[in-house]
Amino acid sequence: MSTLSDQSPQSLIDALDALLEEERAALTKGELSKLKDILERKETLFDQLNRISDLEQESLNDVHGKVTRNQALLGSAMQGIKAVATRMAELRKVRKGLEVYNRSGQRTSYTTSGSLKLEKRA
C-alpha cells in the first residue's frame, strides 16, 4: 500500500473528499468519538496538499464546499453540547433548591427535601 506522500494531487483530493464524507456521517450520526481520528487524518492530507505548489484552485472547489458544510455541522454539534451542559447545570441547581425573591426584594432560598429523581414524561 502506498503512503499519502506517494500519491498524485488528485488522489490526495479524492482521499480528502472521502474523509470529509466520513466526517459528515460521524457528525450527523452523533459519533463524536470518531472526530479525533478524522481530524488527524485530515491534517495529514492538508499538509500533503499544502506541499504541492502547482495545485489548481479549480480542483479544490468541491472539497472546499464540503469543508464549509462540515464546519457548520461541527458548530451545530458544539452548540448542542453546550445546550446540554447548560441544561444539566440548571437541573443540578434545581435539585439543590429554589431561590426566589420575596415581596421586599430579598432573596429567599428553599431547599429540596423530596426525591431527587428526574421524572421522564412522554
34-75 residue pLDDT tens: 999 999 999 999 999 888 877 777 878 888 999 999 999 999
First to last CA, the chain: 53
Taking the alpha carbons of 27, 38, 13, 78 in that order, is the dihedral positive or negative?
Answer: positive
CA angle 88, 93, 97 (to 5 degrees): 145
118: pLDDT strictly greater than 70: no
Element (DSSP H or E) covering residue 111: strand 107-111
Report the share of the chain in percent with pLDDT over 90.
52
What whole-number distance in Å separates Cα of residue 7 and Cα of residue 22?
20
122: pLDDT strictly greater than 60: yes
**For the chain, what is the radius of gyration of the CA atoms?**
24
